[in-house]
Amino acid sequence: MGTVNRSDAQQRADEIGIFNRELGRLEVAGVLHLTEEQRRNVHQYQERLLNGYLESFDIDRTSRTRHLSLGMRVATLLGALALAASLFFLVEQFWGGFSATAQVIVLIAVSVVTCCLTFILRKHDSSGYFCKLAAMVAFTSFVLNVVLLGDIFNITPSAKAFLPWAAYGLLLAYACNSRLLLVMGLGCAVVFAASGLGSLGGSTWEAFVERPETFLLPALIVFFLPACFSQYRYDGFSAVYQVVGLLGVFVPVLCLAYWGEASYLQFSSEFIEGAYQIGGFLLAAAVIWLGIHKECSDVLNVGVGFFVVFLFVKMVDLLWGVLPNYLFFLVLGGCAVLVLLLLRRLRNRSSRLYGGA
């Protein structure tokens, strides 16, 4: 199988490390002994492979570099947030001193400069950390650009702004391999689509906020997109699509389970809430099954997480105030143990089924 993304390269590098350690143990135990030539060939092959990965994907060859990488990722996120905030406050500080023409020029110039900077860094920064940081600032600049233009010229608010934000977020995400920007791009796209659906019958663009059902279709489309368009070349993108899609389904279902008035369905609120509560449990169970069946840990985790949330909220709804506090938490703890037992059973079954693979 050809390696095409960073995750695969990292996994292969890890497997090489495990193989070498096990080989050392086998040799010490006298089970296996490689000749000098065989050892040299294996070593040369592995070095060639690892150097190639290092050059293309900036992988971590040791646990020390892996910890440092994690620190760099955290620093990138914090740096991006800090730089975006700095940009916002810089603009705010001097904003009032500019004429309308100067304000427009500053807004467009900042967007263009940050965009150019992102792509220049993308070309020269093999690690990608600085490029991702610049991309976040570029995205923030563009959002600020559109919002402030609306403010200066008293433009009627509309959901149309979410479309270019989504497109720009996705372009930067794919150019810089940034999962955070992918989340933002997809979020904007879902909001734009939900607003479009919500205003189909002539309602205002912001009506979707009070109609969680408008999120369901766009979120489902996002969930199934990786099945239609392979994201294999982009590290972790497929999981981001699935998680964003699932959140876009679960959060509205959770809202509707306790806020029936927000539904489009013309039934009583109690009926709608009951239906969404049952639907939420079934959906979470289906997602857990899908996660296990497709061996997709992110899908499984979201499914388990929401199953627990639905269970917890339902128990609060039913038992809080009825049972004494100690008994309520005892029942809650008991339910957590039950979920654990259920998941362990699923895991054991899964191990038996795929154990040989």
Partner 1 sequence: MGMRLRTAFVASLGLLLLVNGIVLAGVYWNRELPAESVVTLSERELSVSFGRHGAGGHDSVTLSLSYRRPSQDGEFFISAKQMQALGFRAEPDEMACDVMRTQRLSPREVLLVIEVDGPAYQRELDIAEKAYTQAAQRLKNSPRNESRKNAYETAERELEYERHRSSRAFVVDVGVDQEQLRERYSDSKRYAIVRATANPSVRELEKKQGKQESRCVHYAQASAMVRHIHVPRELRDQFLREDSITKHARHSVSNAKPFVAEIAFGKRLEPWLHSVKLQKQ
Window 168-197: contact mask with partner 1 (x via CB under 8 A): x--xx-xx----------------------
Closer by beta carbon to partner 1, 205 or else 307:
205
Backbone angles phi, psi at 189, to 5 degrees: -65, -40
Structure tokens, 65: 């570099």
Among the listed ranges 69-77, 251-259, 260-268, 275-283, the one in contact with partner 1 (CB under 8 A) is 260-268
Instruction: Give the Cα separation of 349 and 44 in Å (integer).
Output: 41
Interactions with partner 1, residue window 28-87 (CB under 8 A): none
Q: Strand, coil or helix: what is 322?
A: coil
Q: How many residues bind partner 1 (CB under 8 A)?
A: 56
Residue placing its CB nearer to partner 1 in the complex, 15 or 206: 206
Say how far apart CA 215 and CA 218 lie, in whole Å: 6
CB of 96 to partner 1, least distance (A): 3
> Per-residue x/- mask for partner 1, residues 86 to 125, rule CB under 8 A?
---x--xxxxxxxxx---x--xx--xx--xx--x--xx--
Q: How far is the CB of 242 from partner 1 (least distance, A)?
A: 24
Name the segment binding partner 1 (CB under 8 A); options: 152-160, 305-313, 319-327, 332-340.
152-160
User: Do the Cβ atoms of 213 and 224 come closer than 8 Å?
Assistant: no
Residues 6+ apart with CB under 8 A from 12: 3, 49, 53
| Comparison of 35 and 156: residue with beta carbon closer to partner 1 | 156
Tell me the one-letter amino acid at 256: L
23 CA to centre of own chain: 38
CA distance 121 to 14: 29
Distance separating alpha carbons of residues 260 and 269, to the nearest angstrom:
4
Question: How many residues can be counted in the chain?
Answer: 357
Q: Would you state the structure tokens that stand for residue 299, as one six-digit string? A: 């899908």
Specify whether the CB–CB gap between 250 and 310 falls below 8 A.
Answer: no
Residue 270 makes contact with partner 1 by CB under 8 A: no
State the helix-helix crossing angle for 129-152 and 100-124, rounded to 10 degrees. 160
**Contact status: 211 vs partner 1 (CB under 8 A):** yes
Which of these segments, 55-63, 140-148, 179-187, 325-333, binds partner 1 (CB under 8 A)? Answer: 140-148
The residue within the footprint of partner 1, chosen from 149, 217, 255, 296 (CB under 8 A), is: 149
| Contact flag: residue 132 with partner 1 (CB under 8 A) | no
Please say which residue, 19 or 232, places its beta carbon nearer to partner 1: 232
217 near partner 1, judged by CB under 8 A: no
The amino acid sitting at 194 is A
Residues that bind partner 1 (CB under 8 A): 89, 92-100, 104, 107-108, 111-112, 115-116, 119, 122-123, 142, 145-146, 149-157, 164, 167-168, 171-172, 174-175, 198, 201-204, 206-207, 210-211, 261-264, 266-269
